[in-house]
Amino acid sequence: MHAGLLLILYNLSFWGGRHSAASEAGLLSPQKTILTLTRHHRYTEKESIQGACVNPFICFDAVQFTYPPLEGDTDENGNQIIPKPVFYNFSAELPAGAVHLTGPNASGKSTFMLLAAGRLHPERGSVRLFGSDTARLSPEQLQEYASFIYQNMEFETAQPAAELLAYVYANGFFSGNTPAIDSNTYRSLHEEVISVFELEPVLAHRLTELSKGEIQRVLLAFSFLYGSKSIFMDEPLFALEQYQKERALSYIRSYAKQKQVPIYLSMHELELTRRFAELVMLFYPDRTIDLGTPDEVLTQSALEKAYGVPLAMLKDAEKLTRENLKETAAVLSAQ
Ligand SMILES: Nc1ncnc2c1ncn2[C@@H]1O[C@H](COP(=O)(O)OP(=O)(O)O)[C@@H](O)[C@H]1O
Ligand SMILES: [Mg+2]
């Protein structure tokens, strides 16, 4: 296989984690679908719930995870700072669906997804994905269980986008043959993602020639065409135009439902999450997480607590972040 392509498949679906790498018992009974949740659940750190995950998509059981100390990270006495665990004795059961992760920076969203998708492994406890311990999955199985769109993925490949898209579709788990989500309009999923993500103009281009927003749209297309049983996306939309974000989020929701593929993605735009998330995980700096529908979770008091600022300021901050990201994207695409 072409080396560049291998890199893409590797990046999309497998990350050789540096560490080997969360349900409150009975929170989500297997008889209930996520849509029937009527109140939100607050996950905190608690005792092991071994065996309590009945039929979950993701199950964290007494998970502890700590990043290794960073070189040069020292206190005023020159002593190495030992990082605190990002997750400490964390147990949680997470459902399928289109789930948005939101919350302030450094609250653990990326780490949560990396652990859930088996790209990182806990130092204590275990993570099960579709019932299998992620630490025991082979690289091939991991690819089948979960695709991962990393933040800031980079590519070195000379092949044009069209070839890569066709390759990912043909060699992924759909074997190049699965109906489109809107099968009245499109003959295949392949044709559909090219249209939905407006890839026609970049099909002949190499990934190295694309703008950040174009790369993000190609990555989304890859993840849908590859056909893993679940997809994790770390801030996958920030460089897109507003209408493209809305279109992508709507597609994500339909895909998750129709293909029965859970999709977890982190986002910084609360208004979009309110409109497009089936469920939300709100990460607090104190390592607790709320899970529920957008209306249940994204209340003024919860958001003020999570971000530590009044809501009005938060809205300003969101606008600023958006403008900032747009500028960054413009700089990147000009390079
Ligand atoms: N590669 C890393 N090495 C060391 N510490 C990290 C690394 N990635 C994240 N962290 C730390 O782990 C904590 C959680 O980070 P992260 O999961 O990236 O949060 P979020 O995605 O919500 O911004 C933060 O304190 C962050 O500084
Ligand atoms: Mg992150």
For 268-321, what is each residue's pLDDT tens digit?
A: 999 999 999 999 999 998 888 998 999 999 999 999 999 988 877 777 666 666
Out of 110, 238, 321, mutate this one to test ligand 1's pocket (max ligand atoms within 8 Å of CB): namely 110
**Ligand closest to the CA atom of residue 84:** 1
23 lines ligand 1 (CB under 6 A): no
In whole angstroms, what is the distance from residue 179 CA to residue 176 CA? 10
Residue with CA closest to ligand 1 atom 27: 106
Say which residue the tokens 């206190």 belong to.
75
Closest ligand by atom to 120 CA = 1
Pocket of ligand 1 contains residue 111 by CB under 6 Å: yes
Position 45 scores a pLDDT of 61
Using alpha carbons, select from 183, 187, 213 the residue that is nearest to residue 201: 213
Please report how many Cα atoms fall inside a 13 Å half-sphere around the Cα of residue 243, on the Cβ side.
2
Tell how far the Cα of 114 is from the centroid of ligand 2, in angstroms.
10
Question: Are the C-beta atoms of 116 and 232 separated by less than 8 Å?
Answer: yes
Distance from the Cα of residue 239 to its chain's centroid: 16
Nearest atom in ligand 1 to 70's CA? 4
Compute CA distances 76 → 67, 73, 255, whole Å: 21, 10, 51
| Residue 120 alpha carbon to ligand 2 centre in Å | 14
**Structure tokens given for 188:** 């295949």
The reported pLDDT for the residue numbered 44 is 67
Q: Which ligand is nearest to the CA of 15?
A: 1
**Which residue's CA is minimally distant from atom 7 of ligand 1?**
67
Question: What is the torsion angle, in degrees rounded to the nearest 10, for the CA atoms of residue 94, residue 98, residue 103 and residue 106?
Answer: 70
Q: Which atom of ligand 1 is nearest to the CA of 283?
A: 22
Structure token pair of residue 25: 């018992």
Q: How far apart are CA 135 and CA 317, in angstroms?
A: 39
Q: How far is the CA of 166 from the centre of ligand 1 (A)?
A: 35
C-beta of 102 in contact with ligand 1 (< 6 A): no
**Angle 74-69-9 (CA atoms, 0-180°, nearest 5)?**
140
Tell me if 175 CB under 6 Å of ligand 1: no
Residue 246 CB contacts under 8 Å (≥ 6 apart), including other chains: 272, 275, 276
User: How many residues in the chain?
Assistant: 335
Ligand 1, pocket-test mutation among 66, 67, 101, 283, most atoms within 8 A of CB: 67
Q: Tell me which DSSP letter residue 30 carries.
A: T
Kindly give the confidence (pLDDT) of every residue in the chain, 335 residues in length, as a single tens digit, with 9 standing for 90 and above. Answer: 444 444 444 444 332 222 222 222 222 223 222 222 234 566 766 555 555 676 679 999 889 999 999 888 899 999 998 889 999 888 888 999 999 999 999 999 999 999 999 999 999 999 999 999 999 999 999 999 999 999 877 777 888 999 999 999 999 999 999 999 999 999 999 999 999 999 999 999 998 899 999 999 999 999 999 999 999 999 999 999 999 999 999 999 999 999 999 999 999 999 999 999 999 999 998 888 998 999 999 999 999 999 988 877 777 666 666 666 566 666 666 65
Annotate 256-291 with b (16+ C-beta within 10 A) or e (fewer).
beebebbbbbbbbbbebbbebbbbbbbbbeebbbbb
pLDDT the model gives residue 155: 76
For residue 103, which ligand has an atom nearest its CA? 1
Output the pLDDT for position 22. Answer: 23
Q: Which ligand is nearest to the CA of 152?
A: 2
The gap from C-alpha 30 to its chain's centroid, in whole angstroms, comes to 23
Query: What phi, psi does 292 have (nearest 5°)?
Result: 175, -165
Q: Which domains does the chain have, with CATH numbers?
A: 3-20+95-121+131-334 (3.40.50.300)
Integer Cα distance of 187 and 168 in angstroms: 18
CA of 183 to the centre of ligand 1 (A): 40
Is the CB of 147 inside a 6 Å radius of any atom of ligand 1? no
* Cross-strand bridge partners of residue 121: 20
Q: Which residue lies with its CA nearest to atom 4 of ligand 1?
A: 67
* CB 106 less than 6 A from any atom of ligand 1: yes
